[in-house]
Amino acid sequence: MPKVLVAIAEGFEEIEAICIIDVLRRGGVEVIMGSLDTTLPIKGAHGVIMHADRPIKGLSADDLDMIVLPGGWGGTKALASDTTVQALLKEMDAKGKNIGAICAAPYALEAAGVLKEGYTCYPGIEDDLRTGGFEGDKHAVVESANVMTSRGPGTAICFGLAIVKKLLGLAAYEKVRDGLLAGYCETL
Amino acid sequence: MPKVLVAIAEGFEEIEAICIIDVLRRGGVEVIMGSLDTTLPIKGAHGVIMHADRPIKGLSADDLDMIVLPGGWGGTKALASDTTVQALLKEMDAKGKNIGAICAAPYALEAAGVLKEGYTCYPGIEDDLRTGGFEGDKHAVVESANVMTSRGPGTAICFGLAIVKKLLGLAAYEKVRDGLLAGYCETL
Secondary structure of A169-185 as H, E, C letters: CHHHHHHHHHHHCCHHH
C-beta of residue A101 within 8 angstroms of C-beta of residue A78: no
Which of B19, B49, B154 is facing A184, going by the closest CB pair?
Answer: B154
pLDDT in tens, A23-41: 999 999 999 999 999 999 9
As a whole number of angstroms, the distance between CA B7 and CA B70 comes to 7
Please provide the average confidence, as pLDDT, over all residues in chain A.
97
pLDDT in tens, B23-54: 999 999 999 999 999 999 999 999 999 999 99
pLDDT band of residue A132 (cuts 50, 70, 90) is: confident
What is the interface size between A and B, counted as CB pairs within 8 Å?
97
Task: Find the CATH number of the domain harbouring A130.
Answer: 3.40.50.880
- Does residue B132 have a pLDDT over 90? no
Q: Verify whether the Cβ–Cβ distance A15 to B14 is below 8 Å.
A: no
Q: Choosing among B4, B20, B50, B103, which should be mutated to test the A contact, i.e. which has the most A CBs within 10 A?
A: B50
DSSP secondary structure letter of residue B116:
P
- Does residue A131 have a pLDDT over 90? no
Alpha-carbon gap: A153 to the closest alpha carbon of chain B (Å): 5
- Does residue A93 have a pLDDT over 90? yes
At residue B67, the pLDDT reads 98
Q: What is the mean pLDDT of residues B63-70?
A: 98
- Does residue B70 have a pLDDT over 90? yes
As a whole number of angstroms, the distance between CA B34 and CA A112 comes to 40
pLDDT band of residue A183 (cuts 50, 70, 90) is: very high
Q: Verify whether the Cβ–Cβ distance B152 to A180 is below 8 Å.
A: yes
Q: What are phi and psi of A40, to 5 degrees?
A: -85, -35
- Chain B hits for A22, CB-CB cut-off 8 Å, are 13-15, 44, 46, 48, 153
As a whole number of angstroms, the distance between CA A142 and CA A128 comes to 18
Buried b (16+ CB within 10 A) or exposed e, A145-171: ebbbbbbbbbbbbbbbbbbbbbbbeee
Catalytic site positions of B: 103
Q: Is A19 a catalytic residue?
A: no
At residue A58, the pLDDT reads 97
- Chain A hits for B4, CB-CB cut-off 8 Å, are none
Q: Verify whether the Cβ–Cβ distance A18 to B21 is below 8 Å.
A: no
- Chain B hits for A18, CB-CB cut-off 8 Å, are 14-15, 18, 48
Q: Cβ contacts of residue B81 below 8 Å, gap of 6+? A: B111
C-beta of residue B63 within 8 angstroms of C-beta of residue B42: no
Range of the domain at A92: 3-187
User: Taking CA atoms, what residue in B is nearest to A20?
Assistant: B15
pLDDT in tens, B71-122: 999 999 999 999 999 999 999 999 999 999 999 999 999 999 999 999 999 9
At residue B131, the pLDDT reads 84
At residue B27, the pLDDT reads 98
How many domains is chain B partitioned into structurally? 1
Alpha-carbon gap: B102 to the closest alpha carbon of chain A (Å): 12
At residue B130, the pLDDT reads 82
C-beta of residue A117 within 8 angstroms of C-beta of residue A144: yes
User: Taking CA atoms, what residue in B is nearest to A188?
Assistant: B184
The CB density around residue A96, as the number of other CB atoms within 10 Å, is: 10
Beta bridge partners of A5: A32, A67
- Chain A hits for B46, CB-CB cut-off 8 Å, are 21-22, 25-26
Q: Verify whether the Cβ–Cβ distance A18 to B18 is below 8 Å.
A: yes
- Chain B hits for A153, CB-CB cut-off 8 Å, are 22, 157, 180-182
C-beta of residue A102 within 8 angstroms of C-beta of residue A156: yes
- Chain B hits for A13, CB-CB cut-off 8 Å, are 22
**What does chain A come to in residues?**
188
At residue A130, the pLDDT reads 82
The CB density around residue B32, as the number of other CB atoms within 10 Å, is: 18
User: Taking CA atoms, what residue in B is nearest to A177?
Assistant: B154
Whether B52 has its CB under 8 Å from any CB of chain A: the answer is no
Q: What is the mean pLDDT of residues B169-181?
A: 98
pLDDT in tens, A142-162: 999 999 999 999 999 999 999
Q: What is the mean pLDDT of residues B162-177?
A: 98
Alpha-helical runs (H) found in chain A:
14-27, 73-81, 83-94, 106-112, 156-168, 170-180
Beta bridge partners of A66: A4, A98
Alpha-carbon gap: B94 to the closest alpha carbon of chain A (Å): 31
Beta bridge partners of B142: B149
Q: Verify whether the Cβ–Cβ distance B157 to A15 is below 8 Å.
A: yes
As a whole number of angstroms, the distance between CA B94 and CA B107 comes to 19
